[in-house]
A and B are shown apart, each in its own frame.
Chain A
Amino acid sequence: MTDAQSIAPAEAPAAKRQRRPRRINLSGAIGLVTVSFWLVVAAIGPALAPHDVGAVVDLDVFSPASAAFPLGTDYLGRDILSRMLTAARYTVFIALVATLLAASVGVLFGLAAATVGGWIDMLLVRLFDTLIAIPSLMFSLVVIASLGSSIPVLIGTIALIYTPGAFRIARALALNVAAMDFVQVARTRGEGIGYIVRCEILPNVIGPLLADFGLRFVFVVLLLSGLSFLGLGVQPPYADLGSLVRENIAGLGYGAPAVLFPAIAIATLTIGVNLVIDNLPGGRPGAGRR
């Protein structure tokens, strides 16, 4: 991983600023609608569920879509629509909290490291580079093996995994800004670190940071769903969308909607966020999976 990657996004906004017709294009609109849809589902979904989440309501298992069960039933005969409405809340909520944690800690340290410099900067870079050298799935497996899987552990682990990436991006962006004249002026004026970070640097890097936040959210959703799919994420009786795919994987042979719809739900959420990021004025940050 070269530094060029992390520095690259800093150039993006300047290049894009020249051509900035502020029309909302189709893909951006689709993305925005999809993301809002899932946020609303996460907020009020469980209240809309036609059946009880855990109740076995159908004698048949993996039954196809019908009037009573709009998305069919699962491997025990539970209503998939109701289960998905609740599962979406777990997916969105856990991913959102973990991403917020990772982004705020990473950005805070990144901006501080770039502003302070010196040995503190070197120490932080070394520390986060070590964490980033552990493949994300491996990292979560090691932590879950030692702590067991629960929702707080999942949030903490995933946040920790994606903090170094946020740190690198924020630091690289802030380094470019910290070298500018107006920051030098603020330093000469005798402003404190807190002021410089908050009032001079942050407003100039917030666009790319938001894009990075969206991208990070996508990676978090993918990792969380992957863990749940392996049976190491959200544990029964709770279920997120990845758990639903795992539970109903036996229905794959019959092409049951029980396994297809949760998988499609994850895909629409992540693709939706990607479409929004692509249409942000700041443009898309580096394409690595971190």
Chain B
Amino acid sequence: MMLNLQIARMIAVRVASALATMLLVSIVVFAANFLMGGDVAEAILGQSATPEAVAGLRRAMNLDQPAYQRYLSWLFGLLAGDPGNSLINNMPVLDLIGPRLSNSLLLAGLTALVSVPVALVLGIAAATWRGSAFDRTISLVSIGIVSVPEFLVATLAVLVFAVMLHWLPALSSTRDIDSLSALLRVFAMPVLSLSCVIIAQMIRMTRAAVVDALASSYVETARLKGAGPVRIVLRHALPNAIGPIASAVALSLSVLMGGVIVVEIIFNYPGVAKLMVDAVATRDMPLVQTVAMIFCSSYLVLVTTADIIAILANPRLRHR
């Protein structure tokens, strides 16, 4: 692959714009502090607190500093891996998140591992034989799954596999994993229900991308030349659809991040979701903001990677 100057510049622009967006996102997330009615220190200490105690806590929490200064120290703390302490139990946010985040990443990673290949194969196949019974079935099922909430797919999965068939446990806990089969049993339900949602989403976008590429004039030429449908899709349409497919995968995986939260709650999975939902309920802002920043940055990394893949995969840029 010839990495010429233009490609390098396009990638640099993309990365710079992602970093700028990240910075703006961090401002938005931090600004949520100011939506909070009243004073955090008063909220923590309760109504009976003396003014001196409130003032002391304000000083300890640096609330007496101007907003931009607090923002900067929060941002640099975040970058240095020290997002502060939880407002509720005063433990470092990082210690609370750390072990749970790896559990969530494991769940998301396994789901991606299962769903990306399945979705790509089914999506491309549906586009290749579009209009066939196979394509119509795939489209109907995927639109059905995309338009229902994640928790419905997950509850149906519990109902079928745990309640009716007794194949799998309805709850998962990473504690009692001692063998491969135990691992499969624990992860099967969450991964299965998450994959359903992601696969449906990805199939629809992959199919649309390939169908788009199939409508172009070079595909028409290939067809007139006498190439078969499989060859047309694999050799002619697919290389041009890599960019859109990459962004379809990135968008679906970002949907996965929202889905992880819902599915973790349903299956009582010890990931970051329970922590996040509890933190929202108790209005523990440092914890909420840290988790939000982790999710936002992974989202931006995904989308930017997809854009870079699209730039690198664009045949028109590569053969110059």
Contact = CB atoms under 8 A, between A and B. Distances in A.
B170 A253 contact: yes
Nearest to A144: B280
B288 interface: yes
Contacts of A255: 159, 163-164
Contact of B292 (A1, A141, A225): A141
A270 interface: yes
A129 to B, nearest CB: 7
Nearest to A274: B147
B175 to A, nearest CB: 21
A43 B170 CA distance: 38
Of the candidates B37, B148, B300, B307, the one having the most CB atoms from chain A within 10 angstroms of its own CB is: B148
B283 interface: yes
B155 A259 contact: yes
B33 interface: yes
Contacts of B110: none
Contact of B300 (A131, A133, A245, A253): A133
Contacts of B150: 226
Interface stretch (A82-90, A172-180, A193-201, A229-237): A229-237
Interface in A215-248: 218, 222, 225-226, 229-232, 242, 245
B40 to A, nearest CB: 10
B57 interface: no
B288 A141 contact: yes
Contacts of B152: 245, 263-264, 266-267
B196 interface: no
Interface in B153-179: 155-156, 158-159, 163-164, 170
B108 interface: no
Interface residues of A, number: 53
B11 interface: no
A215 B292 CA distance: 26
Contact of B28 (A130, A147, A254): A130
B222 interface: no
Interface in A110-152: 126, 129-131, 133-139, 141-148
A145 B21 contact: no
A177 to B, nearest CB: 22
B295 A274 contact: no
B107 interface: no
A252 B170 CA distance: 10
SS class, residues of chain A in contact with chain B: helix
Given A1-B247, A142-B289, A263-B152, A136 B258 contact: yes
A150 B299 CA distance: 28
Contacts of A148: 283
B158 A230 contact: no
Interface residues of B, number: 63
B25 A145 contact: no
Contact of A134 (B35, B144, B149, B292): B292
Nearest to B279: A145
A141 B146 CA distance: 22
B220 to A, nearest CB: 16
B155 to A, nearest CB: 6
Interface in B125-160: 143-144, 146-152, 155-156, 158-159
B93 interface: no
Contacts of A147: 35-37
A65 interface: no
A238 to B, nearest CB: 17
Contacts of A145: 32, 279-280, 283-285, 288
Contact of B155 (A2, A138, A252, A273): A252
Given A1-B303, A133-B21, A145-B283, A271 B151 contact: no
A289 interface: yes
27 contacts: A1-B251, A2-B243, A5-B247, A133-B303, A134-B28, A137-B258, A138-B295, A139-B292, A141-B280, A146-B32, A225-B149, A226-B149, A226-B258, A229-B149, A229-B262, A231-B281, A242-B151, A249-B266, A252-B158, A252-B159, A254-B163, A259-B155, A263-B151, A270-B148, A271-B147, A274-B143, A287-B146
Closest 5 CB pairs of A and B: A137-B258, A130-B24, A267-B148, A145-B288, A270-B147
